């Protein structure tokens, strides 16, 4: 058992906007690149050019299809596809920390980032088993547990320009679906996004109090619903004529007024 | 255990040096920061790649491909030395040779051709970003047989855009992301402009602006679209024309815009008996004529103060002339385009079509706004504001890779134009050097002279039958039959027909096929197995039917095995390149910009940038463009060419830091020896912003036109009208009706009359042979892969190592299929047996798979049991480059009859559940080719620093 700090000064984490994530995997690979070269052991790959390639990733994108329910007697709405990036959520009550037998897993007092001290990690894998999100991966080459560090070696790094002191996945996200900040500060960009867009916890019933939040997709296919009530749009298509001759006479009259 | 925290170094060294160059993991051309670190031996190595924040294309972001560039640069599939074939073609057996030997072999093949008949060389390039250079080489050699891969890519989109608006989508324009409120996207998975589109969608969604996606498949951009229209493939044109019908019928069109900036008011000869029937009325200088609303008299469209009248007709010498807009009204108000008449064919309800048209109208006209930008138009009228119509569109291969794609793309541009949304705030804007009308582009050239260059550039825009690339006897001048009656407006050539035609000797036989970065024996060809047979087929004397093949690639692609001589290219981090204004630059709608690549690391293999090899080879062959007057080599390498070549006086491959009268300047100027150093110091690119007031309405904005001349984009102002009514197409129709000297063969007359409508139409593509094949089948490119390149990348192949055939839920049920089952997919041409997976967010009659995941065993340094080579498959086996025989003995290309665009997405199939093959491998299964590069390592732990 490893203790969690009673309180952290900041609560650093990510807001991931499911309304704009196009599922491009940019975050996945920039994370792989940065964390292979930086913090701790490189993220290794086994059989990388072979029959069953597998490697360590700290961030993965899953895709889920959603079938919205039927409303009234209308035809079933179209199915939707949601891209869902997932990495460590830096939980306030992180079960991966409390389960660690060596104290290698810990939550930082300063900012709440959950990290693995690789020097103390014995590779037992208990933390990965305890994490309800599947957010930790054992590196097969190094035999230590790897996880999202929230780029702790970027966000305070004085060798980087200030603007680049954010996680690699946030810096690279082409559609700006990822945001980084302090959830302990109600005025921070991430707190405000969560307030405005109804940011959600992932699997709150697990009681882990995740710091990372997800912004839900906005309602889709609203025009398809409005076709049932075309009256709302009808004024925009009120005919000026039904065939060419009438149209040309409308044209003459309209041009007079231009 | 109590809480304990180790001391962490929160400011570790990031890199020893950052080298800024241009990405080449796809065609998007983002700026990248390559972080270099010393390895334990003290050598600087590539350690990490991220986006360049200052770069105009990506502004710091980078996609998965770009970040995985380090794995491409270090891929075990890299070729290491020139090679000559020692086994039979297709076996993959090679011997490494020196560059001297490689050049002397190439010279011994090419010199006799050039001296006798340069057209015996066919030189085609694939994912080439140096077409203004490779085309110069081919022109100097003298062969008419040159093109890049646009013909099998998206030429319909390019040609329709340029013929209609003087600019196209691709990366040649962009929505006004800062002002648009509704973005409608047709059929784009991942394409050119990949990061800018993602950035744009993110940006407009933050503002609450909305996205409508029209695509049979709801992935990627369509997954985040607010509204998704799961259209039936190939019917986009019909859907668009129906929305045009609704908008015209409701008068929701921008009459001022149509009258002033388009040919809607231009007069057309309406006398059916006249040889000029359907042609535009012009004055003695060739200027299109309109009726001036002020005087009621005809006047040239660009005369000072003219107010073109959309409604007025004019009778001259007994011939009635009516404005283009009358023809449009007659055509599009017809009930054949009513939503109720087309709904079933498109798979979209009539109510939904009206709702979408109404939404376009609402946003364009109810949410319009004025920007306080003063400007003066080309007729001299001063405006105090610019009117915004915040509806923007984008489309690429999805609508263009059909045999009705050109007309569909024209229809989409017509929709944009009637809403008044092109080059206005909130709409679609051109990136310099566009706008540039089709008439300002070259025409195709094909006059061959032994021992001498071609008479001009190969590719261009035809404006009537006189411009076709025909020999004196009327037969095609080019091996791909571009610019012939079969596909007159084939602006990018027909790369997909080169091997097929060369093998058939139709229109003639060639001697040497020379290709660059084009995987023609695999995913870049229709009919993959057939193409492999053509490449290896021998004549009655035992000689190869295509006698010699030279190929250049950086990697061990499937095509390598089918070549006789391999010129190994470098990776993108080891080379010079220019992303040039002469070619496909990195401009933004508000700025002119170009860029370079430079060797951030030197190659550690005996390889050479292909363009540098062409400089050497060009000099050995004595090509005028590559030889000094004393016979010595003109350009030592590609870098030398980039700096010192002048296309026109003061205009070279790069526009930045040229030598002017008062020092260095952008745009025109003399060559600057230190130009590449200037680029490197500036982060690898050059940018200059378009002045305020010149930023919109560019085709008609006097300030923009003057600025473009100053920058060297044009030599004189080129204001023009958008072309709703295509006169070149009408001229081809006139020829088919029997007018003029150059006449089409009789068997093509009806097709030309029907398909070359000067106003956009929709037609069902040729369905002969499709009886019983009712399901449409498509491919999409994954966002994290680029063509065949991705699979050799250890990181990317973990994202997309498999490609099931995705089936919509109704088809899964109908055929009793479950995820992981296998199905036999049959087309009129072939059969594949593949694993299937269900997808609900999919057009109910369409199946699809990811493009180019399937790999040939032995290629790309992958294990022969790699999933890409066992379960991976290509849809290409089902698509023939020819239509089924019609019994007339003719070879009909599976291409758009107007442009020759490869009709990949016209494919129709039948499906049947089958038992999984005993070896669980997809069919057709092909024998392995011998890898010329060996295999990759069993483990990767990539870390340069300590």
The residue ranges of DSSP E strands in B210-330, in sequence order, are 210-214, 227-229, 267-269, 289-291, 298-300, 314-316, 319-323
The pLDDT assigned to B376 comes to 97
Which pair of tokens denotes residue B65? 């491909």
d(CA B400, CA A228): 32
Domain interval for residue A165 = 12-220
- Asked if residue A153 and residue A92 are part of one domain, the reply reads yes
| B2, B255, B362 ranked by CB distance to A236: nearest | B362
d(CA B77, CA B789): 10
The pLDDT assigned to B552 comes to 98
- Asked if residue A131 and residue A252 are part of one domain, the reply reads no
CATH number at B775-914: 2.40.40.20
The pLDDT assigned to A254 comes to 93
Q: What are the pLDDT digits (tens) for B530-544?
A: 999 999 999 999 999
* Bridge partners for A65 per DSSP: A81
**H or E element in which residue B748 lies:** helix B746-755
Burial label for B812, CB within 10 Å (0-12, 13-18, 19+), is: buried
The pLDDT assigned to A229 comes to 59
Find the closest chain B residue to A141 by CA distance: B941
- Asked if residue A239 and residue A111 are part of one domain, the reply reads no
B784 and A25 Cβ atoms separated by less than 8 Å: yes
CA B731-B732-B736 angle, 5° bins: 115
Distance from the A189 Cα atom to the nearest Cα atom in chain B, whole angstroms? 13
Q: What are the pLDDT digits (tens) for B724-736?
A: 999 999 999 999 9
**Is A255 within 8 Å of B310 when comparing Cβ atoms?**
yes
Architecture of domain B83-147+452-571: 3-Layer(aba) Sandwich (3.40)
The pLDDT assigned to B1 comes to 74
Q: What ipTM describes this predicted complex?
A: 0.97
B202 and A174 Cβ atoms separated by less than 8 Å: yes
Which pair of tokens denotes residue B830? 């072939």
Residue with tokens 């590559």: B626
B675 and B658 Cβ atoms separated by less than 8 Å: yes
**Is B794 within 8 Å of A107 when comparing Cβ atoms?**
no
d(CA B609, CA B615): 10
- Asked if residue A145 and residue A124 are part of one domain, the reply reads yes
- Asked if residue A156 and residue A36 are part of one domain, the reply reads yes
Q: Is B219 helix (H, G, I), strand (E, B) or coil?
A: coil
Secondary structure string (H, E, C) spanning A136-185:
CEECCCCCCEECCCCCHHHHCCCCCCHHHCCCHHHHHCCCCCEEEEECCC
* Chain A residues close to B872, C-beta within 8 Å: none
Residues 3-42 of A with CB under 8 A from B: 3-5, 19-26, 28-30, 32-34, 36-38, 41-42
**Residue A89 included in any domain:** yes
| B10, B249, B365 ranked by CB distance to A153: nearest | B10
* Confidence (pTM): 0.97
d(CA B187, CA B168): 15
**Pairing label, strands B369-371, B146-147:** unpaired
| Beta carbons within 10 angstroms of residue B451's beta carbon | 11
Burial label for B611, CB within 10 Å (0-12, 13-18, 19+), is: buried
| A26, A49, A174 ranked by CB distance to B794: nearest | A49
Find the closest chain B residue to A119 by CA distance: B6
| B190, B349, B936 ranked by CB distance to A48: nearest | B936
B83 and B566 Cβ atoms separated by less than 8 Å: yes
The residue ranges of DSSP E strands in B165-209, in sequence order, are 173-175, 182-186
| B4, B224, B783 ranked by CB distance to A19: nearest | B224
- Taking the domains of chain B in order of start, what are their residue ranges? 83-147+452-571, 169-433, 775-914
pLDDT band at B4 (very low <50, low <70, confident <90, very high): confident
d(CA A197, CA B699): 41
Query: What integer is the mean pLDDT of B466-474?
Result: 97
* Dihedral of alpha carbons A96, A101, A105, A108, sign: positive
* Chain A residues close to B357, C-beta within 8 Å: 237
d(CA B402, CA B382): 43
Which pair of tokens denotes residue A162? 């200030």
B270 and A118 Cβ atoms separated by less than 8 Å: no
Q: What are the pLDDT digits (tens) for B571-629?
A: 999 999 999 999 999 999 999 999 999 999 999 999 999 999 999 999 999 999 999 99
Distance from the A126 Cα atom to the nearest Cα atom in chain B, whole angstroms? 15
Distance from the A85 Cα atom to the nearest Cα atom in chain B, whole angstroms? 13
Q: Is B533 helix (H, G, I), strand (E, B) or coil?
A: helix
Separation of CA B704 from chain center: 26
- Asked if residue A152 and residue A51 are part of one domain, the reply reads yes
Q: CA dist B627 to B447, B449, B453, B649, B698, Å?
A: 22, 18, 13, 19, 40
d(CA A32, CA A42): 9
| Beta-carbon contacts of residue B388 (< 8 Å; ≥ 6 apart) | B179, B368, B369, B370, B371, B424, B425, B426, B427
- Asked if residue A214 and residue A230 are part of one domain, the reply reads no
**Pairing label, strands B298-300, B173-175:** unpaired
Comparing CA positions, the residue from B30, B373, B821 lying closest to residue A172 is: B30
Interface residue of B209, B358, B843, B933 to substitute, partner A, most A CBs within 10 Å:
B358
| Beta carbons within 10 angstroms of residue B432's beta carbon | 26
Which pair of tokens denotes residue B506? 């139709």
Rg (chain B; Cα; Å): 27
| A50, A230, A247 ranked by CB distance to B248: nearest | A247
**H or E element in which residue B739 lies:** none
The pLDDT assigned to A75 comes to 74
Residues 170-209 of A with CB under 8 A from B: 171-177
Residues 49-108 of A with CB under 8 A from B: 49-55, 57, 63, 65, 67, 78-83, 100-103, 106-108
In angstroms, how far apart are the furthest CA atoms of chain A? Answer: 86
The pLDDT assigned to A242 comes to 85
A88 and A111 Cβ atoms separated by less than 8 Å: no
- Asked if residue A180 and residue A88 are part of one domain, the reply reads yes
- Asked if residue A209 and residue A159 are part of one domain, the reply reads yes
**How many independent structural domains does chain A possess?**
2
The pLDDT assigned to A230 comes to 53
Comparing CA positions, the residue from B526, B532, B641, B522 lying closest to residue B577 is: B641
- Asked if residue A120 and residue A20 are part of one domain, the reply reads yes
The pLDDT assigned to B856 comes to 97
The pLDDT assigned to A257 comes to 81
- Asked if residue A171 and residue A242 are part of one domain, the reply reads no
d(CA B922, CA B917): 8
* Chain B residues close to A65, C-beta within 8 Å: 839-841
Interface residue of A3, A15, A33 to substitute, partner B, most B CBs within 10 Å:
A33
| Beta carbons within 10 angstroms of residue A254's beta carbon | 15
**Residue A4 included in any domain:** no
Rg (chain A; Cα; Å): 25
Comparing CA positions, the residue from B561, B472, B482, B466 lying closest to residue B520 is: B561
Torsion over CA of B767, B761, B751 and B401, rounded to 10 degrees? -50
Q: What are the pLDDT digits (tens) for B319-372?
A: 999 999 999 999 999 999 999 999 999 999 999 999 999 999 999 999 999 999
d(CA B628, CA B622): 9
Distance from the A148 Cα atom to the nearest Cα atom in chain B, whole angstroms? 15
Please provide the distance, in angstroms rounded to a whole number, between the alpha carbons at the two ends of chain A: 80
- Asked if residue A245 and residue A181 are part of one domain, the reply reads no
CATH number of the structural domain spanning residue A142: 3.30.70.20
Q: Is B557 helix (H, G, I), strand (E, B) or coil?
A: coil
pLDDT band at B308 (very low <50, low <70, confident <90, very high): very high
Q: What are the pLDDT digits (tens) for B692-750?
A: 999 999 999 999 999 999 999 999 999 999 999 999 999 999 999 999 999 999 999 99
A67 and B840 Cβ atoms separated by less than 8 Å: yes
Stretches where chain A sits below pLDDT 70 are 73, 226-233
d(CA B185, CA A6): 50
Comparing CA positions, the residue from B46, B201, B22, B62 lying closest to residue A27 is: B62
| Angle, in degrees to the nearest 10, between helices B405-418 and B155-165 | 40
**Residue A1 included in any domain:** no
A and B: number of Cβ contacts within 8 A = 335
> B169-433, superfamily in CATH?
Dimethylsulfoxide Reductase, domain 2 (3.40.228.10)
**Residue A46 included in any domain:** yes
Is A221 an interface residue toward B (CB < 8 Å)?
yes
Distance from the B451 Cα atom to the nearest Cα atom in chain A, whole angstroms? 48
**Residue A88 included in any domain:** yes
């Amino acid at each position: 058992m490893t203790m969690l700090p009673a309180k952290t000064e900041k609560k650093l984490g990510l807001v991931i906007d499911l309304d704009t994530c196009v599922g491009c995997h940019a975050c996945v690979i920039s994370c792989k690149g940065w964390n292979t070269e930086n913090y701790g052991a490189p993220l290794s790959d086994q059989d990388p050019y072979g029959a069953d390639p597998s490697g360590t990733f700290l961030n993965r994108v899953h895709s889920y299809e959603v079938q919205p329910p039927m409303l009234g007697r209308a035809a079933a709405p179209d199915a939707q596809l949601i891209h869902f990036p997932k990495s460590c959520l830096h939980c306030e009550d992180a079960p991966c920390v409390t389960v660690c037998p060596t104290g290698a897993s810990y939550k930082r007092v300063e900012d709440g980032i959950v990290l693995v001290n690789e020097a103390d990690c014995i590779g037992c894998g208990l933390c990965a088993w305890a994490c309800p999100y599947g957010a930790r991966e054992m590196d097969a080459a190094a035999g230590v547990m790897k996880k999202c560090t929230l780029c702790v070696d970027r966000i305070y790094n004085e060798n980087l320009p200030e603007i680049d002191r954010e996680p690699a996945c946030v810096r690279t996200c082409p559609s700006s679906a990822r945001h980084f900040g302090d959830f302990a500060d109600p005025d921070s960009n991430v707190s405000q996004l969560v307030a405005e867009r109804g940011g959600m916890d992932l699997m709150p019933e697990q009681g882990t109090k995740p710091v990372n939040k997800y912004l839900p997709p906005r309602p889709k296919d609203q025009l398809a619903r409005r076709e049932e009530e075309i009256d709302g749009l009808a004024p925009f298509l009120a005919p000026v004529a039904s065939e060419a001759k009438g149209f040309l006479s409308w044209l003459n009259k309209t041009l007079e007024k231009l | 255990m109590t809480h304990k925290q180790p001391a962490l170094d929160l400011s570790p060294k990031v890199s020893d040096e950052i080298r800024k160059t241009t990405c080449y993991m796809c065609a998007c051309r983002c700026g990248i920061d390559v972080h270099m670190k010393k390895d334990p031996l003290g050598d600087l190595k590539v350690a990490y790649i991220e986006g360049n924040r200052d770069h105009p294309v990506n502004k710091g972001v980078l996609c998965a491909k770009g970040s995985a560039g380090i794995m491409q640069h270090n891929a075990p599939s890299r070729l290491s030395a020139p090679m000559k074939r020692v086994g039979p073609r297709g076996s993959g057996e090679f011997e490494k040779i020196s560059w001297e030997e490689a050049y002397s072999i190439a010279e011994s093949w090419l010199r006799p051709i050039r001296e006798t008949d340069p057209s015996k060389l066919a030189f085609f390039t694939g994912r080439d970003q140096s077409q203004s250079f490779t085309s110069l080489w081919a022109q100097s050699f003298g062969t008419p047989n040159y093109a890049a891969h646009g013909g099998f890519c998206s030429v319909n989109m390019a040609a329709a855009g340029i013929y209609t608006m003087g600019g196209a989508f691709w990366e040649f324009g962009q929505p006004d992301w800062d002002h648009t409120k509704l973005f409608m996207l047709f059929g784009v998975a991942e394409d050119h402009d990949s990061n800018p589109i993602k950035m744009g969608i993110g940006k407009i969604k933050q503002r609450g602006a909305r996205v409508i996606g029209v695509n049979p498949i709801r992935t990627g951009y369509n997954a985040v679209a607010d509204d998704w229209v799961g259209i039936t493939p190939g019917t986009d044109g019909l859907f668009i024309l129906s929305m045009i019908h609704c908008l015209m019928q409701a008068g929701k069109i921008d009459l001022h815009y149509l009258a002033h900036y388009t040919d809607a008011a231009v007069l057309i000869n309406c006398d059916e008996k006249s040889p000029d029937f359907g042609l535009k009325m012009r004055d003695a200088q060739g200027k299109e004529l309109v009726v001036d609303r002020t005087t009621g008299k005809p006047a040239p469209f660009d005369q000072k103060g003219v107010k073109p009248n959309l409604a007025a007709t004019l009778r001259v010498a007994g011939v009635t002339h009516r404005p283009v807009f009358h023809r449009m009204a007659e055509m599009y108000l017809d009930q054949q385009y009513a939503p109720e008449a087309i709904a079933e064919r498109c798979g979209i309800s009539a109510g939904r079509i009206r709702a979408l048209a109404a939404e376009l109208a609402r946003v364009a006209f109810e949410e319009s706004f004025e920007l306080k930008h003063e400007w003066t138009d080309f007729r001299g009228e001063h405006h105090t504001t610019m009117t915004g119509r915040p509806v923007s569109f984008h489309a690429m291969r999805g609508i263009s890779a059909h045999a009705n794609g050109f007309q569909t793309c024209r229809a989409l541009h017509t929709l944009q134009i009637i809403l008044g949304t092109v080059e206005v705030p909130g709409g679609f804007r051109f990136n310099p050097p566009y706008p540039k009308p089709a008439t300002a582009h070259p025409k195709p050239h094909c006059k061959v002279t032994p021992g001498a260059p071609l008479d001009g550039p190969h590719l261009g825009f035809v404006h009537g039958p006189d411009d076709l690339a025909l020999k004196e006897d009327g037969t095609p001048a080019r091996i791909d039959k571009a610019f012939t009656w079969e596909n007159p407006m084939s602006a990018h050539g027909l790369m997909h027909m080169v091997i097929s035609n060369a093998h058939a000797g139709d229109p003639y036989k060639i001697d040497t096929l020379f290709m660059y970065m084009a995987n023609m024996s695999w995913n870049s060809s229709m009919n993959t197995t057939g193409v492999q047979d053509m490449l290896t087929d021998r004549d009655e004397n035992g000689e190869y039917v295509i006698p010699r093949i030279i190929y250049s690639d950086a990697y061990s692609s499937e095509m390598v095995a089918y070549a006789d001589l391999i010129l190994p290219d470098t990776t993108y981090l080891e080379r010079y390149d220019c992303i040039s204004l002469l070619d496909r630059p990195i401009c933004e709608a508000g700025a002119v910009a170009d860029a370079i690549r430079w060797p951030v690391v030197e190659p550690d293999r005996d390889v050479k940038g292909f363009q540098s090899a062409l400089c050497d080879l060009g000099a050995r062959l004595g090509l005028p463009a590559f030889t000094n007057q004393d016979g010595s080599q003109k350009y030592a390498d590609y870098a030398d060419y980039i700096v010192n070549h002048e296309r026109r006086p003061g205009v070279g491959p790069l526009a930045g830091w040229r030598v002017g009268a008062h020092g260095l300047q952008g745009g025109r100027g003399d060559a600057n020896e230190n130009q590449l150093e200037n680029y490197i110091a500036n982060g690898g690119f050059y940018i200059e912003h378009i002045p305020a007031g010149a930023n919109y309405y560019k085709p008609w904005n006097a300030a923009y036109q003057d600025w473009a001349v100053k920058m060297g984009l044009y030599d004189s102002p080129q204001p023009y009208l958008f072309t709703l009514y295509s006169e070149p197409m009408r001229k081809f129709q006139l020829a088919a009706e029997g007018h003029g000297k150059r006449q089409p063969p009789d068997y093509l007359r009806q097709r030309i009359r029907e398909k070359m409508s000067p106003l956009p139409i929709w037609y069902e593509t040729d369905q002969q042979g499709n009886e019983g094949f009712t399901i449409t089948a498509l491919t999409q490119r994954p966002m994290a892969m680029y063509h065949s390149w991705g699979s050799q990348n250890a990181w990317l192949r973990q994202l997309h190592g498999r490609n099931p055939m995705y089936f919509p839920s109704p088809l899964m049920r109908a055929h009793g299929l479950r995820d992981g089952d296998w199905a036999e997919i049959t087309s009129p041409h072939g059969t594949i047996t593949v694993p299937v997976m269900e997808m609900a967010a999919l057009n109910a009659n369409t199946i699809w798979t990811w493009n180019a995941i399937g790999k040939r065993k032995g290629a790309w340094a992958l294990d022969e049991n790699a999933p890409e080579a066992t379960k991976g498959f290509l849809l290409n086996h089902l698509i023939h480059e020819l239509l089924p025989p019609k019994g007339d003995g003719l070879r009909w290309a599976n291409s758009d009859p107007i442009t020759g665009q490869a009709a990949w997405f016209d494919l129709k199939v039948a499906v049947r559940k089958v038992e999984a093959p005993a070896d669980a491998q997809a069919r057709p299964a092909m024998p392995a080719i011998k890898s010329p590069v060996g295999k990759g390592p069993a483990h990767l732990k990539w870390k340069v620093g300590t």
